[in-house]
Structure 1
C-alpha cells in the first residue's frame, strides 16, 4: 500500500493508493493544457472515461491519445470538437510528425456552457466514442493501440476526472501529486472541493471524489444477502435527469429538474435513500465499471420498512448471466435468467438505466434494452437503492 500526501484547501491529507491493476485515476485537473502518462498503456477492451464541462465562449478543445509522453509523439487518436459556425468534431491520427486524413463528423454532441461525459471505448475495430451516454462515432485504428502511453487535453474545456478503465498497467497517482490511484483509496479530507477547476460544473456540480473502497470477497450462491449494507449518502440526490435513451437529458439540459445532485465515485457497498420513493417514469442512472477478476455484483431496490427487496439484479460476471429476483418476507422468489448475453464483462465500462413503470421495471445497459422485470411488490413503497459486490461505481443519479 502506497501513501501520498497532497494538499487540499491548504490542508495536508494522506492519500492511500490501493494496488489496483486495471484503472488509472487522474483526479481533478487544475490546469489545461494537460499531458500525463497512462501507466502501462492500454489494450483492446479498455475505456477512457472523462467528466468535464465546456464554457459558453468555447471555440474548440482537443483530447489526444499519444504514443509517447511528449507533445511531439505520434497521436493514435485526435478528438477535436470545433465550434466555428460549422460545428463539427474532427478525428485524426499523426504518424512520424505528419497528420493523416481528417474524419469530420458534422454533428456536435457538446453544448456550450454545459457539463459532459465522454467515454472512449477501445474496441478491436477502433475507438468507439460515446457522449452523454449516446454512441457518437467509431474511429478506426490507424496506429497500434499497444503504443498508447499518454493522454493530452487542451483548449476550451474544464476537466473534473479522467479514468482509464482496464489499463494494461497498474494504477497510480498523477505526477505532481494532484490526484491519486484507484478512487477506492480513502481520501483523508473528503475529496476535492467542488467548482474549483476554473469554473467547474454548471449548477454547482463540480468536484466530489468520494470515499471509494473496493469490497472484500463476494456474494454467496443464494443470491443477494438479506443483511444491510454500509452507510449511504445523504438524502436529496434528485437533480436533473442524466442522458439516456429513455427520455432523460444530461445534467445542465433544459429538461424538468428535481432537487439535489448526482453522486460521483461513491464507495461500494453503497446505500442511499431514493428521494420521494419510486414513481412511474422515475429513472435511476448508474455508471461504472467491472474490475478484472470480478465475480458478481448486486443492485437492489429495497423497502426499508420491511427490508423486502422489490427488485434484485445480480450480474454474475464469470457465468455471463444476469439473475433477477425479489425477496418478500425473507423469502426469495423464482429467479429470472433468460437473456441472450450479459453486458457486464471484466474491464468494461457500463451505463445502466432502471426505469420504473406501472407494471414493471425496464432496464437498459449501454443504450440497449436488456430486460423487463414485472413488479412482485408495491413499487411505491421502495425507498432505498443498495449496491454491493465486485463493481466500481462512478455516477449515480435519480
Structure 2
C-alpha cells in the first residue's frame, strides 16, 4: 500500500531552483511555512518571497533576503506596482555558509514571525493583506531540501475515524468523499519547538492510519536519542526508535513483559547525521508501523504488541532538538 501523506502535511522534497509554486489554499493566520536547506559554501545571497501571483513582476508582500556582502545582514521589504517600499534591515546573519538550516515563517495576525534554527529572528508587519498572497518563490545560493506548508486551521481535539482533520463535521457538511477515507489521521494540533524530554498523549490510543510527524535537529555532539511509543499504564514500549550516533545505526526494538526483544538495525540510509535536520512521518497500520524520513521510506516495523491500540504515549528524549511534533 502506497504511503499517503497526512492531511496538512505534504512536503515538497529537494525542489529545484528557482522554486515558484502556489501556496495550497492561500495564506492564512495560523499557517507556518517550513523551509529546510543548506547554505552554499560560496553563498552571497538568497531570497524568499511571498508573492501576490506567480508571474514575473507580481507584487511581493514579504521579501526576506539574507546577504553575505561584507556587511552581513538580512533585508526585509515589500514590492508593489514594481516599486520597493521602505527597507527594513537586521545586521545579523543567522545562516552559516556550508551549513544546514531550518527557516520557519509563522503567519500571525499582525506580522510574519521568522524563526531560524529554532530561534526567533524577526517580525515583519503586514503591508499587504496576507489573503492576497498566493505563491511562494525561493531562489539564490542555497540547496533546498524541503518546503512544507502547515496549518491554517486548528485541528479538532478528536477526529472520528474516516474523517481527516481538515474535513469538518456539522451542518452544511456531508460525509467525506470516498477517496479521503484512507487518509492518515492526526488528532492533535502541532507543537512548535517543544522541550526535550518530550511527552505527548495519544488521545484514543494508537489507531490504524494515525500518523505522527516529528521534525528536529541532531546536535553535532549528539550521542543518542530515543523515540518511544509507550503504554502508559504498564511502561511497555511497542516501538523504540534509537539513533546511536557513535555507532552510526538506528536501532528498533520493543520492550514487552519486562524484557527487550531482538533488535532491528538494517536501513537503506541513515537520516540522523550529526548537525542534520530530519523530518519523520510514522504511520500506524493494522500490522506494522511504516516510517518515512525526509520523504523516503526508512523502515517497516511489524507490531510485536498485538493490542497496539493500548499505546497512548509518545516519548522523545536524549540528544535531539525538536522543532515540530504533531500527534
Q: State the TM-score bracket (shorter-chain normalisation).
A: 0.5 to 0.7
Aligned residues of 1:264 and 1:396 also touching (Cα < 8 A)? yes
Residue pair 1:294, 1:317 contacting (<8 A) in 2 also: yes
Distance 2:116 2:26 in 1: 31
Q: SS of the counterpart of 1:380?
A: helix
Instruction: Spell out the pairing of 1:340-379 with structure 2 (5 A cutoff).
Output: 340-377=268-305, 378-379=307-308
Distance change (3 Å), C-alpha of 1:204 and 1:278: closer
Residue aligning to 1:388:
317
1:287 aligns to 2:215 (yes or no): yes
In structure 1, what is the Cα distance between the partners aligned to 2:250 and 2:208? Answer: 24
TM-score, normalising length: structure 2 = 0.55
Unaligned runs of 5+ residues in structure 2 are 1-14, 48-66, 80-92, 100-112, 131-150, 167-182
Change (3 A) 1:326 1:121: same
- The SS at the match of 1:203 is coil
Unaligned 5+ segments in structure 1 are 1-88, 92-102, 130-143, 157-162, 170-177, 185-190, 206-234, 242-254
Q: Distance in 2 between matches of 1:359 and 1:256?
A: 15
Q: Relative to structure 1, is the Cα distance of residues 358 and 336 closer, same or farther in structure 2, using a 3 angstrom cutoff?
A: same
**Alignment pair present for 1:268 and 2:196:** yes
**Corresponding pairs, count:** 220
Partner of 1:112: 26
Report the CA distance shift for 1:197/1:297 in structure 2 as closer, same or farther (over 3 A).
farther
Shift in Å at residue 122 of structure 1? 1.2
Higher percent of residues as strand: 2
CA gap 1:181/1:338 in 2 versus in 1, 3 angstroms: closer
1:297, 1:166 → 2: CA distance? 26
The answer as to 2:249 corresponding to 1:321 is yes
- Tell me, yes or no, if the aligned pair for 2:42 and 2:97 is still in contact at 8 Å: no
| 1:151 pairs with 2:74 | yes
State the distance in 2 between where 1:314 and 1:277 align: 22
Q: Is the contact made by 1:273 and 1:383 (CA closer than 8 Å) also made in structure 2? A: yes
Quote how far apart the aligned CAs of 1:146 are: 10
Change (3 A) 1:258 1:309: closer
On the 8 A contact 2:186/2:211 being kept in 1, the answer is no
Tell me the CA shift for residue 116 of structure 1.
Answer: 3.8
* Separation in structure 2 between the aligned mates of residue 264 and residue 386 of structure 1, nearest angstrom: 16
State how 1:1-398 maps to structure 2 within 5 Å: 103=18, 107-114=21-28, 115-122=31-38, 149-155=72-78, 202-203=152-153, 236=157, 240=165, 260-377=188-305, 378-398=307-327
Q: Cα deviations across residues 32-51 of structure 1 (Å, max 9, x unaligned)?
A: xxxxxxxxxxxxxxxxxxxx
**CA separation of 1:154 and 1:278: change in aligned 2, threshold 3 A:** farther
The CA distance in 1 between the partners of 2:96 and 2:250, in whole Å, is: 22
Alignment RMSD (CA, Å): 4.5
For 2:117 and 2:34, locate their aligned partners in 1 and report how far apart those are by CA, in whole Å. 19
SS in structure 1 opposite 2:153?
Answer: helix
